[in-house]
Structure 1
Amino acid sequence: MSRRPFRLTIVHPCVGRRAGMKRYIRTWQMEPIPAAMVAALAPDDVEKRFYDDRLEPIPFDAPTDLVAISVETYTARRAYQIASEYRRRGVPVVMGGFHATLCPEEVSRYCESIVIGEAERTLPEVIDDYRHGRPRRTYRAEGRPALTVTPDRSIFAGKRYLGIRLVEFARGCRFKCDFCAITAFFGASQSHRPIDRVLEELARVRRRGQMVFFIDDNLVSNLPAAKELMRALIPLKLRWVSQASINVAFDEEALELMRRSGCQGVLVGFESLNPAGLAEMNKRFNLMHGGPVQALANFRRHGIRIYGTFIFGYDADTAQTIDTTIRFAQEEGLYIAAFNHITPFPGTPLEQRLREAGRLRFDTWWLDAGYRYNMVPFHPASMSAEALEAHCVRARRRFYGWPSILRRATHRVNRATPYMLANFMAINAMHQWDIEGRNGLPLGDEGFRGELLEAAS
């Protein structure tokens, strides 16, 4: 008699859901590449099923041998709810991801096994150990793995994601911004996939006219490697976007390669226009060579649109700082922008500093039943937490109001092609709708009625 295959269930948890909520936040519905990586790392003879908690109900009673969940700080509460449902049914759960590495003691309370660090080397071992009935509590990756595995997107079949293809080239970032969980996870290092692997993946997954999003934490952290990638992309005639630090705006060769390789825009973390705020976050380099104003002029000259991100709540920030930032983003014609308060993620210097100063409002904001998305989880220096929260929401409403959208649409770089102008209108409208949809969202499923089930120590 042949043995049945080992059954692995992969679950991507949502950030949160109000009781009775029917429609999830659309801007958050991109393909979850970590889930596809888990599927790719599983041996070929493993039977894989995937459920995306943002898009569909999870059939907890469907038979399976092991459940794998990648946990981020924002999804931790929901991940523990999902794990509890499986574990009540006697199904073991393994957890990994950013939050598992940054908070291993917490995460291990809600699963049978935890993967700390990157999973390329450890996950096949986890599955083999469960197959043979010898699982361990902790699997710890040593060093950085070779990035040679391509995500298994077959698990996405039939699911309705945003029409943008996600591809990874580099992982990690070499900068040391004090608020950044990515730096805490990777230790301010970056690794790269072989370019031929990236090109093979693009040839397999791209569709005519589809935008490609290189999901790298900072595509240009290692600028020579990024330039090598861009040179290889030129013959493909792609349209692509990514995330980049401001330094690339002052390298003329890099800008020219971005244009020639099909770059349509990049997310740039300007974070603050206040030199004192940038000093606090260890990001003084944002003022290099004329700072954001000159950087934006350089990007525009090469037809590159900008998604600018700004964060508020450092000690130097005031209501005037925020108002100045909104006007700047509108006048400079940013394609889209984010206006958020700083968030003390576990493991970051920011979180440690606020904790030591007694300025955290919640011991673990991501688990507190009273916390809601967009709440400020610390005590700012120059205003109340409630005032900072209100300023951030007001900034989004102003920037994504129709007068602002239409004004920014007139900027030459935003209307340079019919394709990008159409995308501009659609993306800005989507962000406008999502302001209220995500504001006040509970973390975890508000309709969850059970207790979180902790693992035996």
Structure 2
Amino acid sequence: MKKSLLLIQPENPEIRAFRHKQLNNFSQMTMPYLAAFVDENLFDITLWDEYADIVTFDESFDLVAMTVNTPNSRHCYEMAEKFRTSGSYVVFGGPHPTLEPEEAEAFCDTIIIGEAEEIWPAFLQDFLDGKAQKSYMSDHYPSLEHLPQPRWDLLKNRSKTMMGVVIATRGCPYACSFCNMKQIYHDCYRTRPVAEVIAEIKALPAHYFVFWDDNLFGSVDFAKDLFREMAKSGIKKKFAAQVTLADCNDTELLALARKAGCLTLFCGIETFSEKSLRHAHKTVNKLSDEEAIIQLIHHNKLLIQAGIVFGFDGDDKTCFDLTLEKCERYGIDGVTVSLLTPLPKTPLYHQFKRQNRLLSSDWTDYNAKTKVVFQPKNMSADELFTGYQTFRKKFYSLNSFIRRAKVSKTHLLINFVINFGYWRALKHTK
């Protein structure tokens, strides 16, 4: 007799309310991806995505699996308690159990630590055999060859246009102090076979998609090969990708990306302060090169979405106006703005803990959007939060969009729609 399996993709309630007002909310791919490893002859699979679905507890499941990130952890612990009370076996995986296994294992029956391609199927077999272990740890980096295609068909309440997510690489060659990639993944940048990536892109139900990679340009040679083959294959889909700005100083790479269908590059600029770049351990970004590289990106008809972080030790109350001035001067098309957040096990977390600067021990606050969780060096926590909110609203104002668009001159209609989505989401933000 088949076992019933529930896969839950949790969503932070505060962040979900903001995202619902935007116009470019692609689905997370973790659970559709893990579902592809499950033998449907052995399990009846249900997938709930909290962005679109409401989790209820009136239905019984043999096995409940959740992917847990740090700001969602308490929410996941509460859901797990309800499912376990009703007799379900609960397994956790994802970033937070990998970073805080001792904490997470107290709230579930099994934890999956690290990359799941090999240990998730091993756990499933042990569960069926009645010998599931308390924890499973990935002790070597798994191959990215012959990966199954995510089960997008299991997402019942999501638009197909938002199911366009694919990975071509894993990891990042850089080591920023606030990033937890080095702690989550094995420290080895890897790539998938190009032919397999292209086959997955062709199978996507959406005409627009995103590469969910942490740094698609981590290997420039691989990225060039991928884009050449995408162009040859006749794929007509448009895409966005996350990259490092310094790696964009390559005319051939950008031209190949455009020919392959790229519309937008998400670049982790982080800050326009030399001191703050050093604090972030992101010296690969050179302030002297930024304007020329951004111009090169625009010259190749690509939009740039900048990742901006406020709160580094080099930041003071002037950083907000300085950042806005630079964004408008360079024609930055969009920004994803975050509050500096010392995620567990990162160098930044250890630094702030050692300096007694952490203001919250509640992981729910560690979402980088709604609360400052540490004592900034050159301003108060309230001043940091107010400056962050004010910057977002000023950046996404109509006047700022016009100033930036006059410089960018790139995909103006698409650019306006994306900016409008953020403006709408921020309109009622306190």
1:374 and 2:366 correspond: no
Report deviation, 1:402. 1.9
Point out where structure 1 has 5 or more consecutive residues left out of the alignment.
416-420, 441-457
**Greater RCO (Cα-Cα under 8 Å, separation 6 or more):** 1
1:422 and 2:419 correspond: no
In the alignment, which residue of structure 2 is the partner of 1:399? 395
1:340 and 2:344 correspond: no
Equivalent residue pairs, number: 425
In the alignment, which residue of structure 2 is the partner of 1:102? 99
SS at match of 2:78: helix
In angstroms, what is the RMSD of aligned CA positions? 2.4
In the alignment, which residue of structure 1 is the partner of 2:422? 431
Report deviation, 1:35. 0.6
State the one-letter code of the partner of 1:36. P
CA distance in 1, matches of 2:249, 2:56: 51
CA distance in 1, matches of 2:14, 2:255: 44
| 1:8-65 deviation digits (Å, cap 9, x = unpaired) | 10011111259xx899454684212001111011123121001112212223222211
CA distance in 1, matches of 2:24, 2:238: 21
1:225-240 matches, cutoff 5 A: 225-235=222-232, 236-240=235-239
State the one-letter code of the partner of 1:322. F
SS at match of 1:298: helix
Contact 1:24 1:55 survives alignment (8 Å): no
In the alignment, which residue of structure 2 is the partner of 1:11? 8
Report deviation, 1:123. 1.1
SS at match of 1:134: coil
CA distance in 1, matches of 2:110, 2:211: 31
State the one-letter code of the partner of 1:348. T
User: CA 1:25/1:41 → structure 2, altered by over 3 Å: closer, same or farther?
Assistant: farther
1:87 and 2:84 correspond: yes
1:22-421 matches, cutoff 5 A: 24=20, 26=22, 29-45=25-41, 46-147=43-144, 148-160=147-159, 163=162, 165-207=164-206, 210-235=207-232, 236-287=235-286, 290-363=288-361, 365-367=362-364, 373-415=369-411, 421=412
SS at match of 1:56: coil
Report deviation, 1:252. 2.3
SS at match of 2:216: coil
CA distance in 1, matches of 2:359, 2:24: 27
Over 6 Å off, 4+ runs = none
CA distance in 2, matches of 1:23, 1:268: 20
Contact 1:40 1:152 survives alignment (8 Å): yes
CA distance in 2, matches of 1:406, 1:372: 28
CA distance in 2, matches of 1:243, 1:189: 18
Report deviation, 1:390. 0.4
Q: TM-score, normalised by structure 1?
A: 0.87
Contact 1:312 1:340 survives alignment (8 Å): yes
Report deviation, 1:436. 5.7
User: CA 1:28/1:422 → structure 2, altered by over 3 Å: closer, same or farther?
Assistant: closer
CA distance in 1, matches of 2:367, 2:303: 35
State the one-letter code of the partner of 1:37. Y
Report deviation, 1:371. 9.2
CA distance in 2, matches of 1:195, 1:227: 11
